[in-house]
């Protein structure tokens, strides 16, 4: 059981970790994943285009970001690209430092998009080729067939994997603490350093991550069930 002092520190640490979790970690994940989806869909569709150069660029992009560690990518983006253009240190809403937030979003989005692109590519390949042929026979162009027939079915196929990727991104957002971004993990480290007690802050951080990822996973499952409901009829 917790001693009185440890329990007091546990309670005192709660708002110091909760606030960064809600105000930085969640926006960081949502914005990063939104951009990742956009890039991933483009990369996936490019691989089905008839332009060989674009296919090779897409494949190279995916190989690079899947084949190198996220920490290395984050370091290159932050110290290399954004170090050269020098983003001013401005705060949004008084607590989000854009000089660290933007590089974090870029790194997470680029890394995740490589995995999500492969998820979408597999989802598209899982759609029966007869669906495309039927759409073309009805007079739809290849683009229309992809947009109106193939992609809606592919989205149903990839929802479980997308849910896993959302959960993964929430957890991987903790790596942005290496930049000094005051997100959930950074707040836990700060509390642990200032109190010399690591257990309470890190247990709280783990609970916060779980409270974010569990509802996100359940929401994806509910969406998946709703989209598949019509398949039974």
Report which of residues 110 and 222 the model is more confident about.
Answer: 110
Q: How far apart are CA 176 and CA 29, in angstroms?
A: 11
Contacts from 14-19 at CB under 8 Å and sequence distance 24+?
Answer: 14/204, 16/187, 16/190, 16/191, 17/184, 17/187, 17/188, 17/191, 17/201, 17/204, 17/205, 17/208, 18/204, 18/208, 19/95, 19/187
80-90 pLDDT, tens digit per residue, is: 888 888 777 77
pLDDT, average across residues 2-27: 68
Pairing mode, strands 91-92 and 96-97 = antiparallel
Is 60 exceeded by the pLDDT of residue 4? no
Q: Indicate if the alpha-carbon torsion angle 158, 161, 167, 168 is positive or negative.
A: negative
Is 70 exceeded by the pLDDT of residue 9? no
The interaxial angle of helices 4-20 and 199-228, nearest 10 deg, is 50
What pLDDT is recorded for position 142?
78
Q: How far apart are CA 20 and CA 26, in angstroms?
A: 9
163-212 pLDDT, tens digit per residue, is: 889 999 998 988 988 887 878 888 788 877 877 777 777 888 888 888 88
Q: What kind and span of H or E run contains 2?
A: none
What pLDDT is recorded for position 7?
59
Query: φ, ψ for residue 220 (rounded to 5)?
Result: -65, -40
Three-class DSSP category at 138 = coil
Report which of residues 68 and 12 the model is more confident about.
Answer: 68
Report which of residues 94 and 186 the model is more confident about.
Answer: 186
Most confident of 38-47, 186-195, 206-215, 222-231: 38-47
What pLDDT is recorded for position 38?
95
What pLDDT is recorded for position 16?
66
Q: Any bridge partners for residue 96, and if so which? A: 92
**In which residue are the tokens 């802050």 written?**
201
pTM over 0.75: yes
What pLDDT is recorded for position 66?
93
Three-class DSSP category at 92 = strand
Report which of residues 143 and 116 the model is more confident about.
Answer: 116
Q: What's the DSSP call for residue 88?
A: -
User: What are the tokens at 219?
Assistant: 């929401």
What pLDDT is recorded for position 97?
81
pLDDT, average across residues 63-67: 94
Phi-psi region of 86 (alpha: psi -120 to 50; beta: other; left: phi over 0): left
Question: What share of the chain has pLDDT > 70, as a percent?
Answer: 88
Q: Which of 53, 172, 153 is nearest to 112 (CA)?
A: 172
What pLDDT is recorded for position 1?
45
**Cβ neighbours around 44 below 10 Å, total:** 25
pLDDT, average across residues 92-116: 88
What pLDDT is recorded for position 231?
60
Q: How far apart are CA 210 and CA 156, in angstroms?
A: 25
What pLDDT is recorded for position 11?
66
Is 90 exceeded by the pLDDT of residue 76? yes
């Amino acid at each position: 059981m917790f001693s009185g002092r440890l329990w007091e520190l546990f309670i005192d640490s709660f708002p110091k970790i909760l606030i960064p979790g809600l105000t930085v970690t969640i926006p960081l994940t949502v914005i990063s994943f939104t951009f990742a989806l956009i890039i991933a869909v483009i990369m996936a569709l490019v691989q089905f285009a008839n332009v060989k150069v674009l296919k090779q660029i897409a494949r190279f992009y995916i190989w690079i970001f899947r084949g190198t560690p996220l920490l290395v990518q984050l370091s290159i983006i932050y110290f290399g690209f954004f170090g050269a253009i020098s983003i001013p240190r401005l705060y949004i809403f008084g607590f989000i430092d854009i000089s660290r937030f933007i590089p974090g979003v870029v790194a997470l989005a680029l890394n995740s998009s490589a995995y999500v692109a492969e998820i979408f590519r597999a989802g598209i390949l899982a759609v029966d080729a007869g669906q495309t042929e039927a759409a073309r026979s009805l007079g739809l162009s290849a683009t229309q067939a992809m947009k109106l027939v193939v992609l809606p079915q592919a989205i149903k196929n990839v929802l479980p994997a997308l849910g896993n990727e959302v959960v993964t991104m929430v957890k991987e957002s903790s790596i942005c603490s290496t930049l000094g971004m005051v997100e959930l993990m950074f707040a836990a480290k700060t509390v642990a350093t200032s109190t010399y007690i690591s257990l309470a802050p890190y247990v709280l951080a783990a609970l916060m991550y779980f409270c974010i990822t569990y509802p996100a996973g359940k929401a994806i499952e509910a969406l998946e069930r709703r989209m598949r409901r019509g398949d039974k009829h």
